[in-house]
Amino acid sequence: MPILRDPQPPPPCDVLVIESTYGDRLHEDAIDARRRLARELVEHAIQHRSKIIVPAFSVGRTQEIIIRIKEMVKAGVVDPIPIYIDSPLALKAMQVFRRHPECYDEETYRTFTSEGDPFAAKYIRYVTTAKDSKALNAKKKGPLVIISASGMCEGGRVVHHLKHTIEDEANVIAIVGWQAEHTLGRKLVEEWDTVPIFGVPTRRRARVVRFNGFSAHADRNDLLAYVRAIQPIPQKVFVVHGEERQSLAFAMTLKTEFPGMEVEVPRPDSTHDA
C-alpha cells in the first residue's frame, strides 16, 4: 500500500488477537481496481460530465487515493480532471503527513524527496471554507471528483454533496472503504433505491461503484498469511473486529488450516484467563 510501510513478519506469541473485517472474502486485484477506476469513474465522468463523490476517511484513505490517482495520471492511464479534497480533518492530517516523510513506504519516500509534495498537483484543489464547499454544489455538471468525509457518510460535508448529486443518474458514488451496518454508506453499497439524507427519504439515481482494493483492512488470504508467518503457530487465537458472519467464517478457516488450534470468537462480556 502506498504511504504505509511494508509489513514485517510478526514475532512469536502465546495468544493472537486478529481482526476479521474481510474474513470471508478477497480484495480486488490492485491492477484491476486501477483499470476500473479509469473506466468506471474517470472515463465515465468525462463522457457524461459527471460529478463523482468519494466518501473517504480523512486519515490514510484520502491520502492514498490522491497518490493512486497521481500515479495513474503520470502513467497516462487517465486524463486529469478537477479533484476537490473537501475535509477539514483531511487537510490537518495532510500537514502531519508532509512533516514526516521518514514514516512513508520506501517508494513513496523516494517520490517525496525527488518530486516534492506527493499530495499536490495542478488538478488537485483543497477546499478550506464552508463557503467554498457549498460552492461545489452549485456546479451542476462535471467532470469533477469530490473526496470528502465522513467515510461512512454518517456526517460531515460528504452528506451535503450526496444530497446534491444522488438524484442525477449521470453521477457516480465511489465507495472505497468498509461500511458498517445501518450506516448511509452501507445502504449505498447495498444500492437501496431510496436512502435517508438528513432524515429525508431521497431517491438514489446515481450509480454506486465499489472498490474493495483500496481497503486498508487485510482480506482472508492476507490474514491467513499473517498467521502462517508466526512461528511457532500460536495455539490460542481470538478473532475480533468484524461482523459476526465475517468473524465466524474466518474462525472456521483457521480451524481448518491449523488443526488443533484453539480459535474463539469472543461474545459480549466473555473473559479469558491467561
Cα within 13 Å of Cα(3), Cβ side: 20
pLDDT > 90: percent of the chain? 54
142-173 pLDDT, tens digit per residue, is 899 999 999 999 999 999 999 999 999 999 99
Joined grid coordinates for residue 230 = 508466526
Burial of 94 from C-beta contacts in 10 A (0-12 / 13-18 / 19+): buried
**Which percentage of the chain shows pLDDT scores above 70?**
97
- The whole-number pLDDT of residue 9 equals 84
The pLDDT assigned to 159 comes to: 96
Which of 65-79, 101-115, 131-145 has the lowest average pLDDT?
101-115
**Structure confidence at residue 252 as a pLDDT band (50, 70, 90):** very high
Query: Between these two residues, 33 and 80, which has the higher pLDDT value?
Result: 80
Looking at residue 129, what is its pLDDT? 92
Environment class of 90 (CB within 10 Å of its CB; exposed 0-12, middle 13-18, buried 19+)? buried
Where does the pLDDT of residue 85 fall: very low under 50, low under 70, confident under 90, or very high at 90 and above?
Answer: very high
As a whole number, the mean pLDDT across the chain is 89
Cβ(122)–Cβ(74) below 8 Å: no
Residue predicted with more confidence, 163 or 218? 163
pLDDT digits (tens, 9 = 90+) for 254-265: 999 999 899 999
The stretch 116-142 carries a mean pLDDT of 89
The whole-angstrom separation of Cα 115 and Cα 113 is: 6
Q: How confident is the model at residue 114 (pLDDT cuts 50, 70, 90)?
A: low
Write 119-122 long-range contacts (CB < 8 A, 24+): 119/63, 119/66, 119/67, 119/94, 121/70, 121/73, 121/80, 122/80
Task: Look at residue 41 in the predicted model and tell me its pLDDT.
Answer: 81
pLDDT score for 109? 74
In this structure, what C-alpha cell is assigned to residue 199? 432524515
| Separation CA 96–CA 59 (nearest Å) | 10
pLDDT at 113 over 70: no
Rounded Cα gap, residues 91 and 82, in angstroms? 17
Rounded to two decimals, the pTM is 0.80
* CA pair distance 24, 219, nearest whole angstrom: 8
Query: What would the grid cell of residue 14 be?
Result: 502465546
